Structure 1
Amino acid sequence: MGNILDDDATGADPVSAKLESLGIHLDPGIPYRLESMFPRLEGWGAKGELKRKGKIIRNVEPKLAEMLRDGEEVLYIAKGVQYSFAEHYFMGVWAMTINQTVFVLTNVRLIMLRTNSSGVPKETAWMVYYSQIEKLKGGWTGMMSLKLDDGRKLQFSGFSKLDRSTMPQVFEQALEKYREHGFEPEVTQSLENLCGYCHGRVPKDEYECRRCGAEFWKPSAVALRSLVFPSWGDFVLKHYVVMGVELIGYAVTWIVAGVLVIAALSGGGDPLELLIAVGLGAFFIAIAHTVDGAVTYFVAKKGLHPRRGPTHETVEDIDEVLVES
């Protein structure tokens, strides 16, 4: 079997000169294939695009310096927003605040980092080997579609037109190298969870890192907290903006329930009317608890959220070694 990590970068000088002229300085310790990362250097809007991309890269560089393995090279970086109809239906525009995602395409895998709106990485991350990607395609609607080998489909918005056209090309080139070298790594699921501390792979349905001992929240435990008290689960997940919005909504629900009861009492205190008012109020409150618990479970299920830090020094896991001879 060949070595998937042996391809050399060429033609980076014009790109380096352009970046230097714009004051964009990248970490020299991170191996970038600049000609694929910056495919357009001139033309209308190119300067702004380069500066925007440079800012995204600088924000993720500290995390990349920890995550990249020996011989791994960065081919492209872009930022978008993961889209879910269910989340947008129940959470509205606030769903965008918890789904900011940076794509890092290397010569070995696609790394996905959950970030804040500025592109600064949080603790949640995933990786996908290219052999596990059935399709990566940008659509005319502005969406980026990622279809995985295990049948899972992910949708992303917010990528620029250049990103939507370039990323599929980079993916196809990397996939061709996979085929040339016969690189077919074993996985537990197409979209593998990564530990937020040692960045090792955490197998499907496991919530403790075998390499460093870090523990992550189980979706059921987070959902139960939101079922008991709406927004508690979001506090655990550190989704503070969403937590605040849910608290306001929950307070409004209680106000509506209270108004119904007060109206029934002020109307003469008819027992039947009072019973109906109390029943409606309790129904609205129960719906708030149930919906928040269900949505929180869905959100928590998508990735790993730290509960406790590492308990021991990272140990090498043979499953994490990429270089094969």
Structure 2
Amino acid sequence: MDAIQKSLLEQVAGLHEVPEGAYNIRANGQKAGRNTTANIDIVTKTDKDGIDIIIKPGTKNESVHIPVVLSMSGLKDMVYNDFFIGEDSDVTIVAGCGIHNCGVQTSEHSGIHTFHVGKNARVRYVEKHYGEGDGAGENIMNPTTVVELDEGGYMEMETTQIKGVDSTVRTTTARLGPRSTLIIKEKVMTHGRQLAKSDFTVDLDGEGCHTNVISRSVARDQSKQIFLARINGNAACYGHSECDAIIMDEGVVSAIPEVTANCLDAQLIHEAAIGKIAGEQLTKLMTLGLTEKEAEEQIVNGFLK
């Protein structure tokens, strides 16, 4: 891998060197490195571009890194990754995509990640998107995530997009079994004329299951964001979605909730708050010696932390 690709890896996966444990690194549409362990296998698909990540039942305290980097202008990359997480396992999966585009053509990465989470298994999934480059070409990322949680399964998703992505549509669908839990935490910052759309659909099918979908975002310049959260309570369950957004300059944010109770014992809540930075917050920081711009940056960084 060259210096640009290594820099992208650091941005999206926090990797300064080859990670410990299982990993699959993809660069410009090709496999750039792979390692498996006794408990985690990574297998190349034979029918389409992508991999199967197979985690044995009972696997504890192990991680999988599967970052993607693109450094060629005009490249369009599409992958299908399936995760099979065995019963009673507890693992961390680190994904993410970084694009460096210094050309005039559009560079695009789309990935469909499907998670099959076994009974009483726990998964922490971390995904970061990042773009850079001084060319006229756009950086586009369209991730799709499909989650299937068996009885007692737990999954926490942390997704972040804070720089350089011109257009993104994040689509997430999930089905929850009895006493399972899905926690989604997304952080998004857009600028320029960027567009970011998050589309979540969660079906609470099992008795005693629970979901919490939380979005925090900042829209700057003339950028636009759309947050859609559909929660369907099909059993005795609890569902909550929350959108907190700051708008700056001429930014636009739309929060669109849809909660449907198909069961008498379904408890569903949606919250949304969109507004500009409060004047008293700026004033307080400026009395400490910060300029208005520096004060804004401090508030934004704290909000997205």
TM norm structure 1: 0.22
Higher strand share: 2
Higher helix share: 1
Which has the higher relative contact order, 1 or 2, with Cα contacts under 8 A spaced 6 or more apart?
1
